[in-house]
Amino acid sequence: MKGIVLAGGTATRLFPLTATTSKQLLPVYDRQMIFYPLNTLIKAGIKEILVIVAPDHSGQFLNLLGSIFKNHGISLFFEVQKIPRGLADAFILGENFIAGDNVAMILGDNIYEDDLSESIKNFKSGGTVFAKKVKDPERFGIVEFDKDGKAIRVVEKPKKFISDYALTGLYVYDSRVSEIAKSLTPSDRGEIEITDINKKYLEMGELNVQKIEGEWLDAGTFDSLLEAGNVVKEKEIYKNFDPLIDKAIADFNEELKIIAKKRLL
């Protein structure tokens, strides 16, 4: 299993905060946002992770993550996405990295309270996605279930109510996903949609949709960014990190302190 963190985009809803840095490098309580999706992958035992970034802030990602896991058994790779072409483009950009393996892709601004590591570890084939009941399903790709709880349809941002279960930003697919992504026709907004990948797996009868109960935060607005930090503190989500990540951050902090002291001499 390979991992991908999608951390590109311009995050215009967070201007001016994101005029000088990437949204995924903004703090959520005691660490940068990107460590939360990294934790989801690392807790699932994934050792090779591709981080897809926008060109404007690629150097900042390298400064933070370029060497932070070098002594902790995690290999991070970076790919610059010059033009955002939709979430599904991650599987085209990352095709050589995936190299015929299964892959878990997570959005760089998604924070989960639930521990989803066993679901990722137990994945065999097809596709697995995670649904959460929301108040505003028209903002998301949604999934409709039949009376037996089986997924029967996925729709991108429906104008009419179909279901209040949104598909969250974690997607696990088998090695066919890159070829499926390359076969997609761009939507009206010129992007290749992750919803269309889910439709393909659903048509093949191979899409597993798991419902989650805990908090799901995407921190894409001022209010949701503030809420994310508060929820992480109040529900002590910051204590749910893999010890490897906590150790890597602690070591990195000490290294920064030593460098700062040398600069003052």
Give the C-alpha separation, 182 to 204, whole Å. Answer: 17
Q: Name the class of domain 2-124+169-179+215-264.
A: alpha beta
Nearest to 120 by CA among 107, 131, 104: 104
From first to last of its 265 residues, the chain has per-residue pLDDT tens of 999 999 988 888 899 999 999 999 999 999 999 999 999 999 999 999 999 999 999 999 999 999 999 899 999 999 999 988 899 999 999 999 999 999 999 999 999 999 999 999 999 999 999 999 999 999 899 999 999 999 999 999 999 999 999 999 999 999 999 999 999 999 888 899 999 999 999 999 999 999 999 999 988 889 999 999 999 999 999 999 999 999 999 999 999 999 888 887 6
